[in-house]
Amino acid sequence: MITVMAMATSVSRRTGEPAEQAGRLKKIALLLALALTAVLMLRDSLAYVVRPADPALALRINPGNADVAASRAEQLLRDDPASRAEAEALARRALRRSPVSAAGARMIAAARDVAGDPAAARRLMAYAASLSRRDLPTQIWLIQDAVQHNDVRRALHHYDIALRSSEASKPLLFPVLIKALGQPAVVTGLVDTLTARPKWASGFLDLAASQAQDLDGLAALIRGIALHGYALPEAVLAEASARMVDARRYDIAWQVYAAGDPHAVRDRIRDPDFLRLGLAGGPFAWAIVSGNGLSVEPRHYGARAALAYRAATGAGGVVARQLLILPTGSFRLSGVVPDRAVGSTPIVLRLTCAANGPSFAAISADTPVFARPFAVPASCPAQWLEIVVDGGDNPLGASGAVGGLRISPLSERR
């Protein structure tokens, strides 16, 4: 634009034209410059639009664009490795035109890799990464190179860079990382990476909790980051422990739960006074069931808290349950009933084997303070403690409350 304006000024000076005519020439020059700029911008825009589908056409539209040239070089290497020399020449031309083009440096590296020169490829990829941390294909190449050399730490370093720099990397890289949880070295490295609290950690843990197939690796990861002070979301702990319970992996399910609550006791009832209802605690916390004529809520009775319930006439069923891991032996289940409407059917505390087994104990909370013995059979490694209510035939239904639930051993455990 400046060149066109200077030409107009020079012409007016040589011809001695009046100032008005010189001004008109400057306006014309300005319009021409703007038009030229618009054409160049249109060409750039058109080339970028065409580039994903047809890099060769994009290069014909704008042969001077470094990114377009790099895209064409990538297409050549992908579709016809025999065109490596042409692809490398295009990539070098792209880098000469734009020395800060990460794509250009990456494509020279890729061409060198195809040519059997891994040292040069690695050096050029490192240069491409230094130009832009956001160039996802560069990071992926570096990840693959590290994996091929069994360098887990370096691979995770580039995973971290890619995931920090690009939202688009998550659908691509998260599943690979989740699948790799079966490798102890990867789990150990991930513990170090996640305890630095990168912004992608929460999303990764959410997905891993719901999709990881190697439950031992998932449990090891959760325990590891918890030991380093990572505050795990309750939803992650609940989802992971629930899947482990479904798989009858009760020991690692408990380890995951305890990672979020290190003061929890394995063979005791958690939250005996129902003070933490509504939190996503998973199977080892109280799960509340309502509807179909049943409703429950925590309520205070003086200094004591309890689970208050109401059941419509004829309605009944489980209103709350919690998973226990009690060893074989004899125990006592005790609690209090701070409220029960006259004529209401007593609440029942039922113990059932978790692995689709039968109920082995049913304790009626029919007095203000109750304590009843029960025995855990050897065939029952984990147990559901269920609170069952029954509206009965009373036109008013049934209502009441139960709390202060405790389990204590009665005999030597085997």
Q: Which helix (H) or strand (E) holds 6?
A: helix 2-15
User: Coil, helix or strand for 132?
Assistant: coil
Q: Is the pLDDT of residue 8 over 90?
A: no
Question: For the chain, what is the mean pLDDT?
Answer: 82
- Chain centroid offset of residue 154 CA: 22
Q: What is the mean pLDDT of residues 12-20?
A: 55
User: Coil, helix or strand for 344?
Assistant: coil
Q: Which of 54-63, 121-130, 184-193, 260-269 has the highest mean pLDDT?
A: 184-193
Q: In the chain, what's the furthest Cα-to-Cα distance?
A: 117
Cα separations (Å) of 178 from 170, 247, 257? 11, 18, 20
- Pairwise pLDDT comparison (34 vs 132), residue with the higher score: 132
Q: What is the mean pLDDT of residues 281-299?
A: 87
**Secondary structure string (H, E, C) spanning 28-93:** HHHHHHHHHHHHHHHHHHHHHHHCCCCHHHHHHHCCCCHHHHHHHHHHHHHHCHHHHHHHHHHHHH
* pLDDT tens profile 239-263: 999 999 999 999 999 999 999 888 8
Which parts of 123-165 are beta strand (E)? none
* pLDDT tens profile 291-312: 788 888 889 888 888 999 999 9
Spatial distance between the Cα atoms of 155 and 186, rounded to a whole number of angstroms: 9
Spatial distance between the Cα atoms of 194 and 192, rounded to a whole number of angstroms: 6
Q: What is the mean pLDDT of residues 377-385?
A: 94
From the number of C-beta atoms within 10 Å of its C-beta (0-12, 13-18, 19+), residue 120 rates as: middle
Q: Which of 112-116, 287-291, 305-309 has the highest mean pLDDT?
A: 305-309
User: Under a CB-based contact definition with an 8 Å cutoff, are residues 73 and 107 in contact?
Assistant: yes
**What's the DSSP call for residue 327?**
P
What confidence category does residue 30 fall into, taking pLDDT thresholds of 50, 70 and 90? low
Q: Is the pLDDT of residue 148 over 70?
A: yes
- Percent of the chain surpassing pLDDT 90: 48
Domain 287-409: assigned CATH number: 2.60.120.260
* pLDDT tens profile 156-178: 999 999 999 989 999 999 999 99
The one-letter amino acid code at 79 reads D
* pLDDT tens profile 189-221: 999 999 999 999 999 999 999 999 999 999 999
Spatial distance between the Cα atoms of 8 and 15, rounded to a whole number of angstroms: 11
Q: Could you please report the per-residue DSSP string of 160-226?
A: HHHHHH-GGGHHHHHHHHHHGGGSHHHHHHHHHHHTT--TTHHHHHHHHHHH-S-HHHHHHHHHHHH
- Per-residue confidence (pLDDT) for residue 124, from 0 to 100: 85
Residue identified by tokens 């590296």 is 109
Q: Is the pLDDT of residue 63 over 90?
A: no
User: Coil, helix or strand for 334?
Assistant: strand
Any idea where the domains of the chain sit in the sequence? Answer: 2-48, 133-260, 287-409
